[in-house]
Amino acid sequence: MLQAQPRNHWLIACALLSFFYFCNTANASDPEFDLESLMSTDVQVTSAMKRAQPISNTASSIYVLTNKDLLNAGVQSIPQALNLVPGMQVRQINNNQWAITARFAGGRYSSNLLVLIDGQSVYNPTFAGVYWENIDVPIQDVERIEVIRGQTGTLWGVNASNGVVNIITKNSLDTQEGYATVSHGSDLQYDLNLRYGGTIGDQGSYRVYSHHLEEKQASEGLSPTNDTSLLNSMGMRVDYAFNDDITLFSKWNILDSAIGQTSRRVDKNTLRNGSFNESVERNKFDFLIRVEERISKKSNHMLQFSINKESGYQETLDEEFRAADLEYQINTLIGDHQIDMGLYYRYNDIELISDEYITNFGNSNKFENYGGFFQAQLNVIPDKFHLILGNMSAYNDYTGWENQPSFRTIYKISPSQTVWFNASKAVRVPSYLENNIEIQVNGSKVGEFVNTGNTTIDNTVLASYLRGSPDTEAEETISYEAGYRLTDDNYSLDLSIFKNTSNNTLTYQPSINTHAVNSAVFALLSGDVPQVLSILNNTPIYYDFFSLSTLNVTGLEAVFAFDISPKVDTELSYSVINLDYDLAPGQVAAISHDSTLTQLMAKLNVKLPHRQSLNINVKSEKGSMYSTGNIFSADIGWRWKAKPNVTLAVNAWNLFSNEYEYLNTRELHTSPTKVNKSVTASLYVEF
């Protein structure tokens, strides 16, 4: 159990940073002070094709946040960073929980967005999503974050039907200096990062790092708030070059956290939802090792092995999972044509323990996934027209073999203009919970299903259970997407339109034992009310998962970036997304509802005199997707490089906003709070 000592931690952090400042100014470097306009350059990305290539050659809606973007904005977590990405759905549930996705409605347990750290998947196989509060990557060590909005199943496998977030950290050779940051704010007790790097002979390098965080609770919520955070983590990265052709990259990370939450769960006495404050303790261990070899001037291959282990403990549920991944990939050129292919294997072991609310965990908690992909980028008209064909064939223990083919084209109108199109199929495999679990949920009154005219009977609350089904099928999404890119020295424009049609969309349907209902009706007709109540009190309602409906998602995204002058750059973006369900009779959408969301974002970066900078990010969202009112907020950040190795920053968050960003009251266990205005002060020291 973690125990917080906020005053002592704050004093220690300040003492450490003061020591680093006064003793190490002579050793600090003075990197170029520059605000980078990313979209006006042809940046190299890896997530779109699983190999490095320019953005202009990608047939995907891709956006990249560089390290400078992150530092200038003053973000202190990955969710905050993703809030900078146009078109992303980023809603803060409370001070430590987030609902994040792309081209859909986000939720605490969203499972359509694949999240990777250096190519290692970090999703929880229990619900096939991520706990964002435990995605702990030091921002100063992030080289870039690549975000693909849209399908990428051909390369990345199942559950990447709405996009991929690939967090890529710096090579340890680029982090040889010592680095420390400390932050304090109105919602933040302290946030301390320490890092030190060194060399391994003439061929290798390493860095070790640690992160320590304590956040305060929100001031107002639907229930009394309890959303504090206490986190400690540490890790290490090693990069080693055996020779000019063979390189090794390895890292490990351990995390221990205690997250406060207000849980909405069933009160055993009333059978209705009540609010309960509790602490969720989580322990994580991640390990990754990757070996890459250049076979020839035209070919290279890679072998990667990773392990994830996570344990979570709270009042009603103990959770533990272990996952092991093995991947192999080869990239080669045949003439002017690029060929990429690979194989992967994943083993999952899940253990859940709950004596009270979860009554069934299914027949098996161990399952496997494996498969392979092949993709060819054909240079049909050299440097003018590319045709990309590919397919991922993968097996899972729930739905068997699934195929995810794709067809993409890229046409360069001119050196600065590109149009692209893709048609693809993506698959979302049901999670462990959707297949197996039976969990007690908010009870239902008899009157919600039938009105007997007897107040006592109509107000009787029946025990209710959400029940998974091994018959739940994989959700299959056919996507069509087209885009246009214009890149100039001072400005860029990125447009895309898309339409997704998903079959076998997850729904649920209430059901009740008809024999018991008939017996209750007979007893009611006989005037035996006690017998009616006795029957009903032993007759539960089941909400069974099905995959019988269709979802159509359409949308538009536009990003315009403009370097107004060498000292001022700006970015404007607009996106709109529409969800339209075609539900089978009696079915209810499990995740969202018919809705529309419109998003407007504006960013402004200004270089000020004396090595200062100003960063302003404004966001407006309108629509019914999250059952909230319209959202309008602004974040403002100021940075001052006081010394070559010392930077001061002040950030104001969520200005003009003191509202709920998320109000999905149907989602299990979440209890939203208002997102408060806050201010954070930070000190950065290199040594």
Q: What is the 3-state secondary structure (H, E, C) of 167-202?
A: EEECCHHHCCCCEEEEEEECCEEEEEEEEEEEEECC
Q: Hey, which residues does 405 pair with through a beta bridge? A: 391
Per-residue pLDDT at 596:
95
pTM of the model: 0.89
What are the tens digits of pLDDT across the range 610-657? 999 999 999 999 998 988 889 999 999 999 999 999 999 999 999 987
Q: Report the Cα 288 to chain-centroid distance in Å.
A: 20
Contact 672, 95 (CB under 8 A): no
Q: Hey, which residues does 256 pair with through a beta bridge? A: 232, 283
Per-residue pLDDT at 273:
87
Per-residue pLDDT at 20:
38
- Minimum mean pLDDT range among 53-62, 163-172, 609-618, 643-652: 53-62
Q: How far are the Cα atoms of 72, 322, 348, 363 from residue 366, in angstroms, in the given order?
A: 44, 10, 6, 9
Q: What is the mean pLDDT of residues 83-101?
A: 93
Per-residue pLDDT at 407:
95
What are the tens digits of pLDDT across the range 148-160? 999 888 888 777 8
- Residues 10 and 189: their CA atoms lie apart, in Å, by 8
What are the tens digits of pLDDT across the range 509-567? 988 887 887 888 888 888 888 898 888 888 899 999 999 899 999 999 999 999 999 99
In the numeric block, the tokens 């323990």 are attached to 353
Contact 371, 397 (CB under 8 A): no
Per-residue pLDDT at 25:
38
Q: What is the mean pLDDT of residues 72-93?
A: 94
- Minimum mean pLDDT range among 389-393, 493-497, 529-533: 529-533
Contact 327, 155 (CB under 8 A): no
Count of Cβ atoms closer than 10 Å to residue 561 Cβ: 20
Task: Give yes or no for residue 17 having a pLDDT over 60.
Answer: no
Per-position DSSP letters for 242-297, written without gaps between them: SSSSEEEEEEEEEEEEEEEEEEEEE-TTTSSEEEEEEEEEEEEEEEEEEEEEE-SS
What are the tens digits of pLDDT across the range 131-141? 999 999 999 99
Handedness of CA 149, 153, 156, 157 (dihedral sign): positive
pLDDT interval class at 42 (50, 70, 90):
low
What are the tens digits of pLDDT across the range 343-389? 999 999 998 887 677 777 766 788 899 999 999 999 999 889 999 99
Contact 245, 294 (CB under 8 A): yes
What are the tens digits of pLDDT across the range 267-318? 888 888 888 888 899 999 999 999 999 999 999 999 999 999 999 998 888 8
Per-position DSSP letters for 129-147, written without gaps between them: B--GGG----GGGEEEEEE
pLDDT interval class at 23 (50, 70, 90):
very low
Q: How far are the Cα atoms of 105, 163, 176 from residue 77, in angstroms, in the given order?
A: 21, 20, 23
pLDDT interval class at 215 (50, 70, 90):
very high
Q: Where do the structural domains in the chain lie, given as residue ranges? A: 28-176+231-261+283-432+468-505+548-650+658-674
| Summary mean pLDDT of the chain | 87
172 CB contacts (<8 Å, ≥6 apart)?
A: 197, 205, 206, 207, 237, 238, 239
Per-residue pLDDT at 46:
66
Task: Give yes or no for residue 24 having a pLDDT over 80.
Answer: no
- Minimum mean pLDDT range among 44-58, 526-540, 597-611, 667-681: 44-58
User: What does the block give as tokens for 672?
Assistant: 């939203």
Which pairs count as long-range contacts for 4-13, CB under 8 Å and 24+ apart, including other chains?
4/189, 4/214, 4/230, 6/189, 6/190, 6/214, 9/189, 9/190, 9/192, 9/212, 9/214, 10/184, 10/189, 10/190, 13/182, 13/190, 13/192
Count of Cβ atoms closer than 10 Å to residue 314 Cβ: 18
Q: Using alpha carbons only, what angle is made at residue 171 by residues 27 and 230, rounded to the nearest 5 degrees?
A: 85
Per-residue pLDDT at 30:
36
Q: What is the dihedral of CA 194, 99, 84, 653, to 10 degrees?
A: -70
- Residues 318 and 280: their CA atoms lie apart, in Å, by 10
- Residues 316 and 448: their CA atoms lie apart, in Å, by 28
Share of the chain above pLDDT 90, in %: 60
DSSP 19: H
- Residues 510 and 555: their CA atoms lie apart, in Å, by 32
Per-residue pLDDT at 37:
36
In the numeric block, the tokens 């009190």 are attached to 537
Task: Give yes or no for residue 35 having a pLDDT over 80.
Answer: no
Phi-psi region of 215 (alpha: psi -120 to 50; beta: other; left: phi over 0): beta
pLDDT interval class at 39 (50, 70, 90):
very low
- Residues 522 and 663: their CA atoms lie apart, in Å, by 41
More confident residue, 96 or 521: 96
Q: Report the Cα 345 to chain-centroid distance in Å.
A: 22
pLDDT interval class at 22 (50, 70, 90):
very low
**In the CATH scheme, what is the code of domain 28-176+231-261+283-432+468-505+548-650+658-674?**
2.40.170.20
Phi, psi of 407 (to 5 degrees): -135, 120
User: What does the block give as tokens for 81?
Assistant: 């960073």
Per-residue pLDDT at 43:
60
